[in-house]
Structure 1
Amino acid sequence: MKKTIQRGAVTLLFIVIASFFGYNYLIYGGERDIATETVDYFITAKRITSEFTSDVQLSNKKYLEKAVAISGQITTINDKEIILNNTIICNLQNSDPSLKKNIVVTIKGRIVGYDDLLEELKLDQCLIIKKEIK
């Protein structure tokens, strides 16, 4: 009887510990710091948009969840969101008041998805790595 209680207590303790670590992994394990990661691809906004337009599945395999640097012209600015070439939506980590429409920038971010209905590519954790003011 005593061994059964000990086994039950050890099993319960194991379940509690495994649940704790599993919960922490799910909540905090997926966070990435794109600013410190190396860029997987340097590409222009036109090129990546044409790749996604022509073959979404292949482009998803190539770019999804990767850190990329994309160069393009700012067409819309909304606080912490900029849109490049009317098709690439970038959610910035920090707002940058020096950004203006029609300037060319290179952003670094993580591709999180492509909306084939609206033909929009979405990035998060973006930061400006180069501004080309004319």
Structure 2
Amino acid sequence: MTKTRIKILIFLLVISFGPYYIYQNVLYKDARDINNEKSTLTISAQNLEKEYAANPSQADAKYLNKTIEVQGIVSEVTDSTMVVDKKVFCKMNGEVKKTLINKQINIKGRCIGYDDLFELVKFDQCSIQQN
């Protein structure tokens, strides 16, 4: 009778911790470190937004979830966000200085799509690149 109970206990433990093990070691992948990745291309904010406005699905296939460097003039700045050429919204990795407004800039980040309502291409994990 005790062997049966031990087998049942082991079976219950496997059922309990099996999904956790699979999640941690198979399904869960570490978050990308965009700052250390090499950008796949460099494009102006104006051209990027034009491509998304013309054909969002084709632009998604080309840019979505890729590390891209965007060039343009900073048009808006908040604590941790920046808008380039009034076309590309960037969620920055750190705090942003307000002195960057109206300055030419290169920003590297991950393209996460196009916002039809605000007509902005959105990026996250952005960092300012040195020229």
TM-score category, normalised to shorter length: 0.7 to 0.9
Sequence identity (%): 29
Amino acid in structure 2 at the alignment position of 1:76: E
Equivalents in 2 of 1:37, 1:101: separation in Å? Answer: 26
What's the CA shift for 1:15?
2.5
What's the CA shift for 1:38?
1.5
What's the CA shift for 1:26?
9.5
SS of alignment partner, residue 96 of structure 1:
coil
Q: TM-score, normalised by structure 1?
A: 0.82
In structure 2, relative to structure 1, the CA distance for the partners of 1:62 and 1:5 (3 Å cut) is farther
Could you say which residue in structure 1 is the equivalent of 2:68? 68
Equivalents in 2 of 1:78, 1:7: separation in Å? Answer: 59
- After superposition, the C-alpha distances for 1:22-53 in whole angstroms (9 at most, x for unaligned) are 45469963521111112122111111111101
Equivalents in 2 of 1:64, 1:78: separation in Å? Answer: 24
Amino acid in structure 1 at the alignment position of 2:41: Y
- Say yes or no: does 1:122 pair with 2:115: no
Give the 5 Å matches for 1:86-105: 86-97=86-97, 99-105=99-105
Could you say which residue in structure 1 is the equivalent of 2:54? 54
Q: TM-score, normalised by structure 2?
A: 0.84
Equivalents in 1 of 2:115, 2:20: separation in Å? Answer: 36
Amino acid in structure 1 at the alignment position of 2:111: I
Equivalents in 1 of 2:93, 2:107: separation in Å? Answer: 11
In structure 2, relative to structure 1, the CA distance for the partners of 1:105 and 1:29 (3 Å cut) is same
Could you say which residue in structure 1 is the equivalent of 2:109? 109
What's the CA shift for 1:79?
1.3
* Structure 1: unaligned runs, 5 residues or longer: none
